[in-house]
Structure formats: structure tokens, C-alpha cells
Structure 1
Amino acid sequence: MKKLDKTSAMPLHQQLKNIIQEKIKQGQFKTGEEIPSTAELCACYQVSTITVRRTISDLIAEGLLRGTPGKGTFVTSGEKKKNNKLVGVIFTGGMSNPFLLEIFRGIENVLSGFGYHLIISISEGNAEKERQTLIEFRERGIDGIIMIPVSINRTSSANESLKELLAKNVPLVFIDQKITGFSVDYVASDNEKGSYMATQYLLKLGHRRIAFIFGQEVSSVRERLAGYRRALTEFNLPFDRSMIKSGHLELEAEGCGYQNALELLLLKTPPTAIFACNDPLALGVYRTCHQLGLNIPEDLSLVGYDNLFFTASLIPPLTTIHQPIYEMGRKAGELLLRRITGENGNAEKIILENQLIERSSCAPPPKRVRSSKAKSPGKKAVMKKGGMS
């Protein structure tokens, strides 16, 4: 067996690539046969999994190998592939959203190091746009797809497009959101536990009227609502639907947060705390409080979710749940790469831990239950779509 020269100026992945190419040329690895697994190649040549995956990825791009998710990596007839190491990324929103931008950075950090080029498409939460993109990606011979799927108002045709991709063994990873009925690799943070921690934190401060605000009821929001309800149950508190606000989807997230908070804070008995399902929603609550003459945290405690870059600079700084967004992107990229290179195994579910970041936007509730002392600002100040989401 030919060994790798670790003192050579030639990179190890290139040396291993040359060895496998030679074995294919000499017929030791025949067309249609499975080559040794990543673990076997690592053990045989005393190299890292990263080196092996880089080698296999390059050989797949050159048309000498093909990876079949769940089965392995096989020798091909040697025909050149149509594309040049392309991975499709489908997001529900654009790069002006700091959450999505951070996920993309994590994905790119992993895949660009292996020579992959990323093609981004925005579904805008529309199942038909998602379906059209999946068809385009399939026609381009994409190597794999990482996507935040449309998880509400899905159409049967969108589901059929996903099934067709999976039937053709196109590697697919869901990130942040998921849809039922598909056995697909999935990466997210622990939404239920993160929401539970936020709600429990407010309950321990003494709050009992805690509102929960969100935009669309996507899968991640449903998990956070479950965590909110679990915390209330542990404190023997009933679930009060009047404390749940959503909607105003014609607005960006900040405007949505503003309107939802406005409706809550003008109630006869308003909440003493609000848990916002993401930080841009929480930013809208700051604006509502400013317009109503309320102070955070003296009149209202507030917790956000994500720990986006601006939260520490707010006045007062926002208490929030830190979600490992960049790491979510990295894990999705690594998982997709493993599937592209033919790693076997059932669909994986990677759930990352969150952390409560305590800042200055929370305090015990006022000693006297506050009735709404503020008047409606009249004509509602709104933020139309086009800014942060």
C-alpha cells in the first residue's frame, strides 16, 4: 500500500486523491463499486476526516466518484459532471436579516473551504417559490441543498418536489425549521428549552402576567410556545390566550413587535412582562414603550431571543436567549458535506444548546398591578416591509 508523505510540499488531500485516481485507473476500484468509507480511509492512511472529505469532494466534482446518502461513495464511469461543486441554500428571508446572515456565514465557512460555491434563493415564506427553486436546483445538478423550509401553508406540489429530490438521492439538510413527514437531516437549537428558560426567569422574578409575542407560527415558534407553556404549568399558572399576540405580517418584525405590544399594553390589565420570540420583535416593544411613556424594566420587563448584535447596545440592554446561530450554519454545512461524500446513516437531528443572557431589561414587577395608564398614540406608527425582518 502506498503511503502518504507528510513531509512533502504536496497537500495530503492531493496525495490521497492521486492514490484513489490511480486505483480507479488500474481497476482496483471498478465502476459501480463502493470505495472504502471515510473512517476506513482515515485509518488506512492516517489522516483526518477533513482530509478524506476534501479528497472525496474533489473526486465527486471531477466525476470520478458519486456519493449516495445513506449508502456510500461509488466509482462512476468518469463522465464529467455538469456543475462545478454547487450547493443550493434556500432561506425564507433576505440577507438584511442578521439571523439569516449569521447562518449563511457558518455554512459558507465550512463549504467554501472544500471548494463549493453557494447559490442563494429566497422563498419569502412562499411554498410555490420554494417549489420552483427546488426544480431549478435539480435541473442544475446541484450537489446538495441546505434550506429553511416553508413550514406553514405548504402545498402538495411543494412536498412532491422535495420527495423527487430525495428520491434522486440529492443530499438535503433542514435548518432552524422543519416539516412533518420527511426523514431529513435537521439542525436547530433547543427552542423549547430556550423559551422555557426565558419564561422561568421572568416567573422567578415574580411576574405572573407574561405575554408571548411572535410573527408567524412556524415550527420553531410552536416549540417556543411549548416551552413557555411548560414554565407556566410548573408554576401552577393557567394558560391565558389573551397574553398571546401575533399577526401584522404585512410589517417587518420590528413593526410587528410594536403593534403586538401596543395591543397588549393598552389592555385594562396589561402584562408586566413580555417574551418576544426574536430580538427584532423585542426592538419593536422598546418603541411601543417609548411612545406610551413606559419605562423598561420599571413598568415592563422584556426578554428577547437570538442575542443579535444590537441587543447589548439598546437602552437598557436587552436580556435575551443566546442562540448559537453561526454554529447552526456550520453544523448544517458539515452534515451536508458528509452526505455529499456518501457517508452512511439515518437522518440526523442536531440540537444545539441555548443560553440565557441576563442584561438590564428585566426586574421584579411593580408592587401595584398597573392598569393601562397610557393612551393609544392614535394613528399607529408602523414599519412597512423592506427593513429588518
Structure 2
Amino acid sequence: MQTKYGTVKKAIKSKILDGTYEPHHKIQSESEMMKQFNVSRHTVRLAIGELVSEGWLYREQGAGTFCADRTRRDAQSNSLPRKNIAIITTYISDYIFPSIIRGAEAYLSESGYNVSLFNTNNNHEKEREYLEKIITQGFDGAIIEPTKSAYSNPNINYYLNLERLNIPYLMINAYYDALEPISVLVDDERGAFLQTEHLIKQGHRDILGFFKTDDMQGNLRMKGYLKAHRMHKVPINPKLLNTYQTDEKETKPVEELTQLLTHIEARPTAIVCYNDELAIRLINVLREKNMKVPQDISIVGFDNSFLTELSEVKLTSVQHPKAELGQTAAKLILDMIKQQHNHKELKQEIKSVKYPTELIVRSSTREVPVKGRDLEKAK
């Protein structure tokens, strides 16, 4: 359990690290902090005293306590790369993340860099903790997968402070729109368009869509699903569009599909899934209902992961570059570091990368008769 003075110390340090307190900026008075944290003056002075001795603050007699200017000291220590890169992802060992990380780690290691891996579990508090480590522990740069990228991020100030301190960072899989960072992405919208168009061209009209909407990818994939319906003039049934959050991914889609399958008259003939992980989970639901894929219902995944070959029905899925995406991110962050250190040989502008998508067709989908129209007209 954290001590009272530790809580005060951490709060002051966080305001320094997120840029709230700039160099030579006067911090709150002792009285204000006593009231804010409901602690004694002794507790506040103990916290401030440690931060002064550690070089985060300085005192001026009769004027108050100020944020120290660490920029010059940090700039001196940053004059040469220390060969340390941070990789922050929402998950490390799950699903496609190991492949992405291996791609980045292999390239960085070959270039002589040490890699530190951090896992946020899609939690903003964890993200903040690791951003503080990047700022304080001498990292040359960072590759970051943003946490809940569809939402306003409470850690934006930390990213702005990274920029102020000239610590390069880029984002993978998604990005925070307000920051407009260099990023390495997959064309999620186009990928979901291809998923849905494939099913429409096979004659499907009642296409169930599942999309995780607390990240940018899920929203773009939902957009692609809707765009394919509109382009092919297929009416969208709102009851067939389902969304969920990360913490609901193991329960809500399963419950929604189970509920829909109880109504035979409104039963969908195909499913577009946010990713392969979800597709396999829903295939298990169908199996429990004695429904066969693709004879009774077609299903399409996204990411072309190892899961596509695990089921007895090989899963149609959208290609994801995985290791190549990680390698590209690693190359770009090293280019950004070189540019930061004014290497004259790097003159070109560093740009974001978006990988095109391709649908890998396997045996989880099949053609069905088009109700009331010729199949060719849907193509």
C-alpha cells in the first residue's frame, strides 16, 4: 500500500512528466496540496523534499517551489543514442501480437538496439505508467499500440511531453487522431469491405456483423461493412449490426449470436467478424447449435492468423502483414531517431505506412441463392 507522502510525490511527478508543470513553473503551494490530498504539512514537505533531492524540483527562498529544468541535462544525455527502444502493445502473448513484436524485435536487435516490452492490457493507467518510464529511463524512442484508440485519451499530455523532449514515437495498428503521429496500419476499412462484398457476391443478404468499437480498427471495419452494403445496394438490417467493447469480447457476441439463432425467421446466412479470434469463438457457438459452416451459415474473419487453420473448417480471412508490420515500424522508428540526432544522410520525409488488404478465401463461405434477383446483378 502506498504511503501518503508517496501518493503526493507521485502526483507531483506525474504533473512534471505530462508537462503540466513546465521548467521553472511554480508548483502548488503546500496549503493547496494539504487540502487536495487531505494530508499534513509534514507529509507534503516530505514528498517535495525527496523530489528536490532527486532533481525534479528546486526551492527559492521566499518565492516557493519550482519545477526543475531537466531539458538541458536530458539533452546532454541524449546526445548519442543509448540503443534502447520501448514497445508498448495492448497485449503481448495473445493472438497476432507475438508475430508483430517478433518482427520489430528482430529488426531492432540486428541494428544493435535493446528492446523493452510493455503490456497495457488495454488500460489507460498502465499506458500512463509506461509513458513515464519512457520519459525517465533513457529510451531513444518508442513503438506504441494505443489503448482504446477510439476514445479520447487521458494521456495525451504525456505524448505531447515526449514531443517536447524530442523522444520519437510512432503508433501501430491504430493511432490517436488528435496527435496525428507517424503510424503503421492495415487498411481496416477496405479489409472489412472485402469481407462483406465477398459474401454479397455469393448471394448473402442477411449478413451479421460484429465489431469491437473501443478501438479505431473496429470502427473502420464497421464502416467498410456498411459501405459494401451501400455500394451493392443491399439494405442494412440494424438488428444484424452488433458492437461490443474489449471487456465484453468473450461474452456479448456469443450472447447476441445465441439470441439471433433462436429466431428462425430472422436467422442470418453469413457473419462478418472483427477478427479471427471472434470467428472461432462464434463457430463454437454454431457447433453447439448443430449448425454447420458453411452449409448452414458462412463466416469470415480478419487478420489471416494461425487460427484460420485450426478449425475443421478453414476460415476465409483478410490478410494482415503481422511480422512485416512490426519490421516496418522498427525501421521507421530508427529513421526517426537518426533524424532526431541530425544525421545528414537521412533527408527524406518520414511518412506513415498503410498496408493494403487482401481476402484469403478458404472453405468457411459458400454461395447461396439470391432472393428475388439474379446473382449476376449483385456482382
Same fold (TM over 0.5): yes
Paired residues of 1:213 and 1:260 also in contact (CA < 8 A): no
Query: Aligned residue for 1:311?
Result: 308
Query: Aligned residue for 1:279?
Result: 276
Spell out, residue by residue over 1:131-162, the C-alpha distance to the aligned partner (whole angstroms, 9 max, x if none): 12101111001110001112144443x00011
Query: Aligned residue for 2:163?
Result: 166
| Residue number among 343, 350, 353 corresponding to 1:350 in the alignment | 353
Structure 1 residue 119 displacement after superposition? 0.9
For residues 269 and 99 of structure 1, the distance between their equivalents in structure 2, rounded to whole angstroms, comes to 34
Query: Aligned residue for 1:85?
Result: 83
Query: Aligned residue for 1:320?
Result: 317
In the superposition, relative to structure 1, how do residues 278 and 84 fare at CA in structure 2: closer, same or farther (>3 Å)? same
1:225 and 2:225 correspond = no
Alignment of 1:108-127 (within 5 A): 108-127=105-124
TM-score (norm 1): 0.69
Say how many residue pairs are matched: 291
Q: Alignment partner of 2:292: what SS?
A: coil
Paired residues of 2:211 and 2:222 also in contact (CA < 8 A): no
For residues 214 and 77 of structure 1, the distance between their equivalents in structure 2, rounded to whole angstroms, comes to 44
Query: Aligned residue for 1:103?
Result: 100
Structure 1 residue 118 displacement after superposition? 1.1
Q: Alignment partner of 1:341: what SS?
A: helix
For residues 130 and 248 of structure 1, the distance between their equivalents in structure 2, rounded to whole angstroms, comes to 18
Amino acid of the structure 2 residue aligned with 1:135: E
For residues 129 and 116 of structure 2, the distance between their equivalents in structure 1, rounded to whole angstroms, comes to 14
Paired residues of 1:214 and 1:257 also in contact (CA < 8 A): no
For residues 75 and 186 of structure 2, the distance between their equivalents in structure 1, rounded to whole angstroms, comes to 41
Query: Aligned residue for 1:30?
Result: none
1:209 and 2:202 correspond = no
Paired residues of 2:104 and 2:330 also in contact (CA < 8 A): yes
Query: Aligned residue for 1:243?
Result: 240
For residues 245 and 352 of structure 2, the distance between their equivalents in structure 1, rounded to whole angstroms, comes to 32
Q: Alignment partner of 1:354: what SS?
A: coil
Q: Alignment partner of 1:236: what SS?
A: coil
Q: Which stretch shows the higher mean deviation, 289-298 or 307-316?
A: 307-316
Alignment of 1:307-386 (within 5 A): 307-342=304-339, 343=346, 348-365=351-368
TM-score (norm 2): 0.71
For residues 289 and 252 of structure 2, the distance between their equivalents in structure 1, rounded to whole angstroms, comes to 16
For residues 219 and 77 of structure 1, the distance between their equivalents in structure 2, rounded to whole angstroms, comes to 35
Structure 1 residue 84 displacement after superposition? 4.1
In the superposition, relative to structure 1, how do residues 140 and 299 fare at CA in structure 2: closer, same or farther (>3 Å)? same
Spell out, residue by residue over 1:73-113, the C-alpha distance to the aligned partner (whole angstroms, 9 max, x if none): xxx99868798411111111231x13111110110121110
Structure 1 residue 211 displacement after superposition? 1.0
Amino acid of the structure 2 residue aligned with 1:354: T
For residues 152 and 259 of structure 2, the distance between their equivalents in structure 1, rounded to whole angstroms, comes to 30
Structure 1 residue 183 displacement after superposition? 2.8
1:258 and 2:258 correspond = no
In structure 2, the gaps of 5 or more residues are 1-73, 340-345, 373-379
Structure 1 residue 260 displacement after superposition? 3.7
For residues 354 and 309 of structure 1, the distance between their equivalents in structure 2, rounded to whole angstroms, comes to 17
For residues 165 and 334 of structure 1, the distance between their equivalents in structure 2, rounded to whole angstroms, comes to 19
In the superposition, relative to structure 1, how do residues 78 and 250 fare at CA in structure 2: closer, same or farther (>3 Å)? closer
For residues 229 and 167 of structure 2, the distance between their equivalents in structure 1, rounded to whole angstroms, comes to 43
For residues 142 and 110 of structure 1, the distance between their equivalents in structure 2, rounded to whole angstroms, comes to 17
